[in-house]
Copies of this chain bind each other. A is one copy, B any other.
Amino acid sequence: MLHIQIIQVGKTKEKLFKAAEQEFNKRLSKYAKITTHTVEDNGKIMNQIEKGAFTVALEIKGKQFSSEEFADFIKRRQFAGEKLTFIIGGHLGLPVEIVNDCQAKLSLSKMTFTHQMVRVFLLEQIYRAYTILEGKKYHY
């Protein structure tokens, strides 16, 4: 089971996004071990990254994947036996030094979304990736 670590800056304050995060975390629990670290500010990100983890910064100018390409990316990490760490900035985004340090930069959209929505989108895409890898029908 892949260990996926999500490091995020700032708490999710909106109830409805919190509920969505919980729901996708629940659905994902059968596919991957997800641990979420919520830190107060950007300065506390680096300490949270697990040793040897493959790091991915969520960054609007990063690379866009289709859901199938993203599923393939997840599969490759799982085969490599690596931990996978996604880093989501707060409302001011991530500092350029952290982005540059990450092994991959992932952009979900050219549009700016709130960091709280980004968390839900990312979890949904990880969940979707597993359903793609399983060949499972998923839409609702």
Contact = CB atoms under 8 A, between A and B. Distances in A.
A110 interface: yes
Nearest to A129: B111
Quickly give the copy total for this chain.
2
Contacts of A140: 13-14, 91, 114, 116
A20 interface: yes
Of A16, A125, A128, which is in contact with the most chain B CB atoms at under 10 Å from its CB? A16
A20 B13 contact: no
A30 interface: no
Contacts of A17: 20
B16 A23 contact: yes
A1 to B, nearest CB: 23
Interface of A: 13-14, 16-17, 19-20, 23, 64-67, 70, 91, 108-117, 120-121, 124-125, 128, 139-140
18 contacts: A16-B23, A64-B110, A65-B110, A66-B111, A67-B112, A91-B140, A108-B109, A109-B111, A111-B121, A111-B125, A111-B128, A113-B121, A113-B124, A114-B139, A114-B140, A116-B140, A117-B120, A117-B121
Given A13-B140, A111-B121, 6 more contacts: A14-B140, A65-B111, A108-B109, A108-B111, A111-B125, A114-B140
